[in-house]
Amino acid sequence: MRDFISFIKENFRKLSFGWTLTFLSSFGQTFLISLYVTSISSEFAITEGSFGAIYAICTVLASFIMLTVGHTVDHVSVKKVTAFTIICLAISCILMGISYHIAFVFISLVGLRLTGQGMLTHISMTILSKFFDKNRGKALSFSSLGFSSGEIVLPLLLTFFIAWFDWRWVMIGSGILLLLYLIRLYFTDLEHFNKQLSIGRPSSLTLVKDFGSIINDRRFLILMPTSFAISFTVTAVIFYQYVFVAQKGWSPQLYAAFFTGYALTRLIFSLAGGLWVDKFTAKRMFRIYLIPITLGLLAFAFIHSIFGALVFLLMMGITVGMSGTIKSSILAEVYGIEKLGAIRSLFTMFMVVSTALGPLIVGWMIDGGLSIETIMLSLFGFMALCLLNAQRIKGVSTRT
């Protein structure tokens, strides 16, 4: 831990930039957008189920756009890519706030998902993976703290402001806040990250060939399912968590308090994951990090008291806390860093698709009358298969 603290002190400016991007990505994450679901559904006279379907379509569309823009991190200056992404995220927030037709809501959601959850996370993880080699795990784990920080702080703040002001003003205010960050970005020196840039922009044909070779590679079929499974499961459970709480007859207030435990656990294991990746390598950690959430699903299914939810939330926090560091580090270890931006954009696309499919499929299961136990056991089986598949990483060589 002393080495970690020393590393943070020596590289704080570089690391704080990565942390800021993951924190600001919260404005496009499901947990924050979910605060507006009821208000938007009421405003535009649509059901919450209809909003969920629109959200899924927008998320999938954003994931495919990621393929066309994710590679820019490899060859365009970090400051330009970041500034453009922040501007687009801010415009998406403001557009949502002033929208008076469902079409504008659709466009706004695409922008929020693409630039928030997609690009800001992508930029942060890619540039830190490229810049740091021996201490990649520590760098990525510090950057990942932005996620848990956003989960702890922003829902409380925005819920307070939504209660006092109209949700539209909160959305517009979020956009203005993002634009103000551009002032700070202008005076931030990011030239050290540009040393890893490749020369020239790849053609569309080159990108298609690269993506095709990645998908047809054995490594992709080992790495992708775990990333997909985590995002699929976590997003689905969080999206419908209060539906499950109501069906179980649990206290929503006590569950909300337990959710804070998830955020804190995620924060702690974000740090621990970085230390373990540097000590044991991402390949070794990749084989075991799905175990906690997989076992936690069994607790959610079979423990009838609300403490079953607590066990699941803590176990989910362990896996999710480590996942950001491990998923980014393993790509650098297995593929190298030369085209890491393009490679991560492909994996990010599948991850974002999973966040759309999770609520959609689990929603169908709920509408179909399946019990919570059956739903959780189905997710458990899915995660267990991905865990078994992850063991194949042992035979994959490491690249630098």
Least confident of 14-18, 22-26, 184-188, 202-206: 202-206
pLDDT of 198: 63
Per-residue pLDDT band at 311 (split at 50, 70, 90): very high
Per-residue pLDDT band at 260 (split at 50, 70, 90): confident
pLDDT of 148: 81
Percent of the chain scoring above 90 in pLDDT: 37
> Mean pLDDT for the chain?
87
pLDDT of 392: 92
Per-residue pLDDT band at 114 (split at 50, 70, 90): very high
pLDDT of 204: 63
Rounded CA separation 21/29 (Å):
13
Q: pTM (2 decimals)?
A: 0.80
pLDDT above 90: residue 382: yes
Domains and CATH numbers, the chain: 7-395 (1.20.1250.20)
Average pLDDT, stretch 142-159? 86
pLDDT of 202: 63
Average pLDDT, stretch 388-398? 87
